[in-house]
A and B are shown apart, each in its own frame.
Chain A
Amino acid sequence: MSNAEIILIAGMTAITFAIRYTLFAVGHRVRFSPLLSRALSYVPVAVLTAIVAPAMFMPDGEHWQLSFDNAYLFGGLAAIGIAAKWRNLLATIAGGMLVFVLWRWLFS
């Protein structure tokens, strides 16, 4: 490992751990207002959707890809359909991957 790599990993480790630990560290002295607690209940849905939407509509990270050969879009739509109908995580992953792979194979 080069020195630059050691600095990079040490920096990323410190930053990530600080973010995850700060509130846990002072936890017993923190109290959340009811508004903040309600706000926090929207966090997982908002964050994960904000990661998923661009991954489906712009898989290269830069350009809209609203076309029929976009397997990320159609695999994602299939996963949404499966998740809405059966609410089963494993089925969603397996079904979504299957549609994604087939779509890629058929259309690109």
Chain B
Amino acid sequence: MSSRFKQALLGARDTIPMLVGAAPFGIIFGTLAVSSGLSVAATLAMSIFVFAGSAQFIAASLIASGTGLAVILVTTFVVNLRHMLYSASLLPYVKHLPQRWRIPLAFWLTDETYAIVQNHYLRLQVPLKHKHWYFLGSCLAMYGNWVACTLIGVLLGSSLPGMAGWGLDFAMVATFIGIVVPSLRSRPMVVAALVAAAVALLAHTLPYKLGLILAALAGVVAGLVAEQLKGADRTGEVADEQR
């Protein structure tokens, strides 16, 4: 087996926990979108071409409430802006690659793949050379899983109409908690999380999910300020917690 293929398999394997978390989310999207009035073909096309779970979810609920195209597109933009931050963070690791690699890796960039791949790149003992195959493996696993689960959701939704009320969307909450909590290893990180949570709760009335972007920015700034204060607090000490 070539080492490229091995890296891709490793990437897919490391993504398995994320697949478990995303599966119920994809299923519920499939059932919800069809009951929101989207056709079966459009529901599948959305998972195949847009491939952005939370934006798809929000779009489905906006369609259900009769919202116009422009508002749905603006909301898609705001909700997905975080991916630009992810791409900025991964940029140092992909900028040596040709565009034929960068285009698919960008298309398939999600919260879950970002969490897995960033963690992998941080482990410096692994040589950089074939890491994009690891990235690709994670992407393909998430994509196949998402499209398959959307299809399952569409099929189940037509046979079990009450499924949208089962609370399967909680799987996404549990997945994100499982990503965030282990990374809260320094005080500035905890501050960033607490401030982001507080602002998200207070700003939830803002339209088009602007509260989400505001909360994320507030969390980042709070983390930087906390880091600065900590640095001023004990100068000369090695900042072992910075990661």
Contacts and interface: CB of A to CB of B under 8 A. Distances in A.
A48 B42 contact: no
Contact of A96 (B59, B73, B173, B242): B173
Contact of A47 (B38, B46, B85, B177): B85
Nearest to A108: B167
Given A12-B76, A48-B179, A24 B219 contact: no
B196 interface: yes
Contact of B173 (A27, A36, A52): A52
A100 B168 CA distance: 10
A47 B216 contact: yes
Contact of A20 (B45, B84, B183, B215): B84
A90 B46 contact: no
Interface in A22-43: 22-25, 27-28, 30, 32, 35-36, 38-43
A52 B215 contact: no
B204 to A, nearest CB: 5
Nearest to A2: B39
B173 A9 contact: no
Interface in B192-243: 192-193, 195-201, 204, 211-212, 215-220, 223-224, 227, 242-243
Contacts, number: 277
A76 B177 CA distance: 8
A16 B170 contact: no
A12 B46 contact: yes
Interface in A52-108: 52-58, 61-62, 71-72, 75-76, 79-80, 83-84, 87-90, 92-94, 96-97, 100-101, 104
B97 to A, nearest CB: 9
Contacts of B227: 38
B173 A79 contact: yes
B120 interface: no
Interface in A1-31: 1-2, 4-13, 15-17, 19-25, 27-28, 30
26 contacts: A11-B69, A12-B52, A13-B50, A16-B80, A19-B81, A20-B80, A24-B95, A24-B102, A24-B106, A41-B89, A43-B216, A44-B86, A45-B183, A49-B180, A49-B192, A50-B196, A52-B176, A53-B215, A71-B170, A76-B177, A89-B178, A90-B20, A92-B174, A92-B178, A96-B173, A100-B170
Given A5-B42, A17-B106, 11 more contacts: A5-B45, A11-B69, A19-B80, A45-B189, A45-B192, A50-B219, A51-B200, A51-B212, A61-B204, A72-B167, A89-B21
